[in-house]
Amino acid sequence: EAAVTQSPRNKVTVTGGNVTLSCRQTNSHNYMYWYRQDTGHGLRLIHYSYGAGNLQIGDVPDGYKATRTTQEDFFLLLELASPSQTSLYFCASSDAGGDNYAEQFFGPGTRLTVL
């Protein structure tokens, strides 16, 4: 069974604070993704990576950095958090490539509140 874990599950910070969200997958997947979920918008891609050391920009990257340190670990960094970044964040992984549009496996989510 594919496994994606996220930590912390809940986080409260203040405006201007520094936050790191962590994601680990044990699927040996190449691709990893960070999404945010907001009412009325569905899920939107922030950043993604196709391997350790690689980073690609998603659709809503402003205010976010990310780093893929290993095949398993993908981090999302908010260096100056703002209230507009209050959201539910999901990490996902997939084994896509070529003509293989593989499904993505999602973690349980991290609820971030920026006061």
Partner 1 sequence: GDSVTQTEGQVALSEEDFLTIHCNYSASGYPALFWYVQYPGEGPQFLFRASRDKEKGSSRGFEATYNKEATSFHLQKASVQESDSAVYYCALSDRDMGYKLTFGTGTSLLVDP
Distances (CA, A) of 56 to 8, 33, 44, 62: 23, 9, 14, 13
CA–chain centroid gap for 31, Å, is: 11
Binding region for partner 1 (CB under 8 A) out of 10-18, 30-38, 61-69, 71-79: 30-38
- The strand pairing partners of 55, in sequence order, are none
19-25 sheet: strands from edge to edge: 4-7, 19-25, 73-78, 65-68
Per-residue interface string for the shown chain with partner 1, residues 3-22, x marking contact by CB under 8 A: -x------------------
Is 102 near partner 1 (CB under 8 A)? Answer: yes
> Which residue's CB is nearer to partner 1, number 17 or number 88?
88
Neighbours of 61 (CB within 10 A): 15
> Which residue's CB is nearer to partner 1, number 55 or number 77?
55
Question: Min. distance of Cβ 16 from partner 1 in angstroms?
Answer: 29
Distances (CA, A) of 75 to 28, 78, 106: 17, 10, 15
Question: Which residue in 48, 74, 85, 87 binds partner 1 (CB under 8 A)?
Answer: 48
Residues at the interface with partner 1 (CB under 8 A): 4, 31, 33, 35, 40-45, 48, 50, 56, 58-59, 90, 92, 94, 96, 99, 101-109
